[in-house]
Amino acid sequence: MAHQTDWYAEHAALTLSRITPRLLPILPATPDRDVFLERLNRHLEPLFRLTHQLYGDQYDFFYQFEQLIHGLARAFLERSPALRQLDASRESEPAWFQHQTMMGAVCYVDRFAGNLQGIRNRIPYFKELGLTYLHLMPLFKVPERNNDGGYAVSSFRDVNPALGTMAELETLTDDLRAHGISLVLDFVFNHTSDEHEWARKAQAGDKTYQAYYWLFDDRTLPDEYERHLREIFPEHAPGSFTFREDMQKWVWTTFYPFQWDLNYRNPEVFRDMLGEILFLANRGVDVLRLDAVPFVWKELGTNCENLPQAHWIIQALNAAVQIVCPSLLFKSEAIVHPRDVRSYIGGHESQLSYNPILMVSIWEALATRETALFRHTMNKHFALNADCAWINYLRSHDDIGWGFADEDAAEIGINGYDHRYFLNLFYTGRFPGSFAAGLPFNFNPRTMDMRISGTLASLAGLETAIQAHDDSLIQLAIDRILMMFGVILSAGGIPLIYLGDELGTLNDYSYANNPETAQDNRWVHRPVADPERWLRRTQDDSIEGRIFQPLRRMIAIRKRTPQFANGQTRFIDVGNGHLLGFVRREQLLVLANFSEKPQSPSIDALRQAGFDPLDTVDLLTERPVLTPLALEAAPYQMMWLVRRST
Ligand code: OTU
């Protein structure tokens, strides 16, 4: 091993000294050239090592590597002065995304605002909410039908004409940045649509582009692979391969038949996808959400998820980004076992990651009214290195799957299989007393597994409460929703709101009448924004206002409270299983009541956990906590307790 490290260090150094003089003619002699060369010097070794691990068996590896570096230099030259300045300022302040002012939201361009111009018109609303991070879901060119809500991309360099143009996207990026909002876009890099130029060429018989995908003449290998693969959409896209009549070949399609998995064993795929990243970075994108990271490398005899090479690919892309455009961050989208979720996070891999572990724990505790598994799971999986951050969310445009670890559950006496069964019943409203109105997503009769579709409000009980015309149930649902928001606003990381949830948007069952969406019930929780609902946010007595206004206030409090900066979060036992407790930066205690009954923590337990709750003030109610009585939490109440300043 030591020998190997030496070999890489030595050859990286040799390669650098060979390449550098040949780069000088294409890099004008400006101070920026030194910046580039300095970064190249710093990051060439990992880039060399990782690409060699992946593609070192290619006869022309060294030639290709030099071409790659030339590509980086060209991308650097194309980068605007403003973006180079941003690179410099973020390099000097790498913790910029750890600030408590960070506040995120996500939406579909068309469903939320019609088109890019509509998004631009919403900037005042984003500011009203306090956003600094806006994730616009895939807005690239896609097939008219069969596009999986944008996740089947036909061109990474063209905006979907129905939404706008690349020029408009660049203007929007500038405008957002001028208002302190970073733009997050998806990089759907596991697959392309079958209408992407590469796929089209492959269909026409072009061998070069057939090698960009996984094609098979018969079922022999697909059968071999499938013995170990998980089905992602078993109901409507069973299996992982699709037969193409036009080519008389089987194509690897992990997701839908029209989403063709790219073959990263082919170095040209790596090279070209890196090119797409740099193109987007130079348009001013701040964060790329790496879609479906677990699946990008395949190996016969494995489940083809989370393989070491998948990490090398992301790390190599990251090293290239550090050289050309270090202000760009990666966010990994790995909705897998907690251990595997974490494996993608690192300054040298993805600086940001969705936090499905927290998301699932919140819903789990909401159903059980018990926080034991929540706390246990967080103690094992929450802590991150200081150069990374969680994206804490309550739901996304996707389904919710019960991704806690069976072994974690077993450690506290919970059977994972049974628990999932219960949660599925609960969130599809089939468990007695359930408040949730979710739909079962992709039930797999072979494994009995399913996931859940539904908006935040519908899953948290607002829909059933409204149907029952019961004001007290409506109030409980609102309190539940606010408490859940409170958790993602106070746990370490960047909170992310699915736009519409801040107004209590309910499930939209009309997806079932549209043949385009009827097969995929995730559309139940992706409704088109309702302007009426939006206007009602300012009415104190409307349901929208009763969610929006307190939420907005909580966001404002978060943003002015330095104890909410960075990720440091210690989950503690507060001596009452219905309450969740965690300490931020050893200075702020969060208490959240996950039940519909009043609950009190144990002062002794809190003191033992190192936080004396007396003589604090609750930032949310502004009331001082001077006696144990003041610590009694009403149903679904949340408290943010800080020591009283004298
Ligand atoms: C992602 O989700 C996207 O978020 C989905 O909207 C897409 O349909 C899909 O990729 C294909 O592009 O399985 O149920 O561990 O769980 O990538 C959603 C990652 C998914 C996968 C996740 C995937």
Ligand 1: does its nearest atom lie under 6 Å from the Cβ of 261?
Answer: no
* 479 contacts 461 by C-beta, under 8 angstroms: no
Backbone angles phi, psi at 201, to 5 degrees: -65, -40
The predicted-structure confidence for 127-155, as pLDDT tens digits, reads as follows 999 999 999 999 999 999 999 999 999 99
Q: How many Å apart are CA 595 and CA 362, to the nearest integer?
A: 12
Q: How many Å apart are CA 543 and CA 547, to the nearest integer?
A: 6
Backbone angles phi, psi at 124, to 5 degrees: -60, -35
pLDDT at res. 4: 73
3-class DSSP assignment, residue 357: helix
How many Å lie between the centroid of ligand 1 and the Cα of residue 557?
A: 33
Q: Whose CA is nearest to atom 2 of ligand 1?
A: 292
Q: Per-residue confidence at 307, pLDDT binned at 50, 70, 90?
A: very high
Average of per-residue pLDDT across 489-494: 98
Sign of CA dihedral 140, 146, 152, 156: negative
Ligand 1: does its nearest atom lie under 6 Å from the Cβ of 305?
Answer: no
Q: How many Å apart are CA 14 and CA 12, to the nearest integer?
A: 5
Q: How many Å apart are CA 467 and CA 4, to the nearest integer?
A: 66
Ligand 1: does its nearest atom lie under 6 Å from the Cβ of 108?
Answer: no
Ligand 1: does its nearest atom lie under 6 Å from the Cβ of 65?
Answer: no
407 is catalytic: no
pLDDT at res. 378: 98
Q: Per-residue confidence at 445, pLDDT binned at 50, 70, 90?
A: confident
pLDDT at res. 1: 53
Residue 248 CB contacts under 8 Å (≥ 6 apart), including other chains: 217
- Its pTM stands at 0.97
Ligand 1: does its nearest atom lie under 6 Å from the Cβ of 189?
Answer: no
Ligand 1 atom closest to 451 (CA) = 14
The predicted-structure confidence for 104-113, as pLDDT tens digits, reads as follows 999 999 999 9
Ligand 1: does its nearest atom lie under 6 Å from the Cβ of 294?
Answer: yes
Backbone angles phi, psi at 499, to 5 degrees: -60, 135
Share of the chain above pLDDT 70, in %: 99
Ligand 1 atom closest to 442 (CA) = 14
How many Å lie between the centroid of ligand 1 and the Cα of residue 270?
A: 21
- DSSP states along 435-466: ----EEEEEETTTTEEEEE--HHHHTTHHHHH
Site to substitute for ligand 1 among 342, 398, 439, most atoms within 8 A of C-beta: 398
Ligand 1: does its nearest atom lie under 6 Å from the Cβ of 335?
Answer: yes
Q: What angle do CA 64, 65, 70 make, to 5 degrees?
A: 95
How many Å lie between the centroid of ligand 1 and the Cα of residue 511?
A: 19
Average of per-residue pLDDT across 97-120: 98
Ligand 1: does its nearest atom lie under 6 Å from the Cβ of 258?
Answer: no
- CA-nearest of 329, 357, 290 to 95 is 329
* 534 contacts 128 by C-beta, under 8 angstroms: no
Ligand 1: does its nearest atom lie under 6 Å from the Cβ of 225?
Answer: no
Ligand 1 atom closest to 401 (CA) = 14
CA dihedral 53, 57, 63, 65 (to 10 degrees): -20
Q: How many Å apart are CA 68 and CA 565, to the nearest integer?
A: 38
How many Å lie between the centroid of ligand 1 and the Cα of residue 338?
A: 16
Q: What is the mean pLDDT of the chain?
A: 97
From 87, 291, 501, 520, active-site residue: 291
β pairing state of 259-261 and 241-244: unpaired
Ligand 1: does its nearest atom lie under 6 Å from the Cβ of 188?
Answer: yes
Q: Whose CA is nearest to atom 13 of ligand 1?
A: 232
Q: Per-residue confidence at 2, pLDDT binned at 50, 70, 90?
A: low
Number of neighbours of residue 532 by Cβ within 10 angstroms? 7
CA dihedral 211, 212, 214, 218 (to 10 degrees): -40
Tell me how far CA of residue 236 lies from CA of 240, 245, 256, in angstroms.
Answer: 12, 19, 8
**Helices and strands (DSSP H and E) totals, the chain:** 24, 23
* Chain-centre distance for alpha carbon 601: 33
From 194, 305, 333, 596, active-site residue: 333
Residue 536 CB contacts under 8 Å (≥ 6 apart), including other chains: 503, 542, 543, 544, 545
Q: Per-residue confidence at 102, pLDDT binned at 50, 70, 90?
A: very high
Site to substitute for ligand 1 among 108, 147, 148, 255, most atoms within 8 A of C-beta: 255
Q: How many Å apart are CA 594 and CA 251, to the nearest integer?
A: 47
289 residue type, one letter: R
Number of neighbours of residue 257 by Cβ within 10 angstroms? 17
* Chain-centre distance for alpha carbon 375: 22
Tokens 């009283």: give the residue: 644
pLDDT at res. 68: 98
Q: Per-residue confidence at 345, pLDDT binned at 50, 70, 90?
A: very high
Helix H or strand E encompassing 166: helix 166-178
Share of the chain above pLDDT 90, in %: 97
Helix H or strand E encompassing 209: helix 207-210
The predicted-structure confidence for 598-630, as pLDDT tens digits, reads as follows 999 999 999 999 999 999 999 999 999 999 999
pLDDT at res. 3: 67
Q: For the stretch 57-83, what's the b/e string if a residue is b when 16 or more beta carbons lie within 10 angstroms of its beta carbon?
A: eeeebbebbbebbebbbebbeebeeeb
309 residue type, one letter: Q
Q: Per-residue confidence at 249, pLDDT binned at 50, 70, 90?
A: very high
Ligand 1 atom closest to 255 (CA) = 11
Q: Encoding tokens for residue 403?
A: 């991704």
Q: How many Å apart are CA 235 and CA 224, to the nearest integer?
A: 22
Q: What angle do CA 532, 537, 543 make, to 5 degrees?
A: 90
Ligand 1 atom closest to 305 (CA) = 15
SS3 content of the chain, % helix, strand, coil (to 5): 45, 15, 40
Ligand 1 atom closest to 152 (CA) = 12
β pairing state of 638-643 and 616-618: antiparallel
Ligand 1: does its nearest atom lie under 6 Å from the Cβ of 400?
Answer: no
How many Å lie between the centroid of ligand 1 and the Cα of residue 398?
A: 7
Q: Whose CA is nearest to atom 6 of ligand 1?
A: 398
Q: How many Å apart are CA 521 and CA 500, to the nearest integer?
A: 18
How many Å lie between the centroid of ligand 1 and the Cα of residue 125?
A: 28
291 is catalytic: yes
How many Å lie between the centroid of ligand 1 and the Cα of residue 293?
A: 9
In the DSSP assignment, the letter for residue 566 is S
Ligand 1: does its nearest atom lie under 6 Å from the Cβ of 399?
Answer: yes
Q: How many Å apart are CA 90 and CA 327, to the nearest integer?
A: 6
Q: Whose CA is nearest to atom 12 of ligand 1?
A: 151
How many Å lie between the centroid of ligand 1 and the Cα of residue 562?
A: 34
Does the pLDDT value for residue 646 go beyond 70? no
Q: Per-residue confidence at 229, pLDDT binned at 50, 70, 90?
A: very high
Ligand 1: does its nearest atom lie under 6 Å from the Cβ of 334?
Answer: yes
Q: Where would I find the beta strands (DSSP E) of 272-414?
A: 287-290, 329-332, 352-354, 389-393
Q: Whose CA is nearest to atom 17 of ligand 1?
A: 292
pLDDT at res. 448: 84
How many Å lie between the centroid of ligand 1 and the Cα of residue 412?
A: 30
Tokens 């004008």: give the residue: 28
In the DSSP assignment, the letter for residue 97 is G
Does the pLDDT value for residue 503 go beyond 60? yes
